[in-house]
Amino acid sequence: TDGIIFRNIRRYARAHDAENEKKWWARLTATKRKDLTQLLPNHKLSLAFDALIDYAGLWTPICLGTLH
C-alpha cells in the first residue's frame, strides 16, 4: 500500500540508506512521487509522520493520492 511504501521511504531516509530508499520510491507512480515530494518539505508534517513510524499498523490505510 501507499502507506507502507511511505513508511519505508521515511525509515530508510532517516537511516541514511539511500539505496533501499530509492527501491521504495520506485514503487510509487509518478503522480504519487510528486505528491510525496511536495509533502516531505513540510517540516511539521514530516515530523508528525516520523513520530508514527514505529506503529506499522497505522500506515496501511494511507493513500498518497489524497494528500495533495
Residues 3-55 pLDDT 10s: 999 999 999 999 999 999 999 999 999 999 999 999 999 999 999 999 999 99
C-alpha cell recorded at residue 48: 508528525
Domain count within the chain: 1
pLDDT bracket for residue 68 (50, 70, 90): low
Residue with cell 509518478: 30
Domain that residue 31 falls in? 2-67
The Cα–Cα gap between 24 and 44 comes to 23
Q: pTM of the predicted model, to two decimals?
A: 0.91
- Greater pLDDT, 61 or 65: 61
The three-point CA angle 57-60-65 to 5° equals: 150
For every residue of 14-32, DSSP letters joined together read HTT-HHHHHHHHTTS-HHH
Say which amino acid occupies 25. Answer: W
pLDDT bracket for residue 66 (50, 70, 90): confident
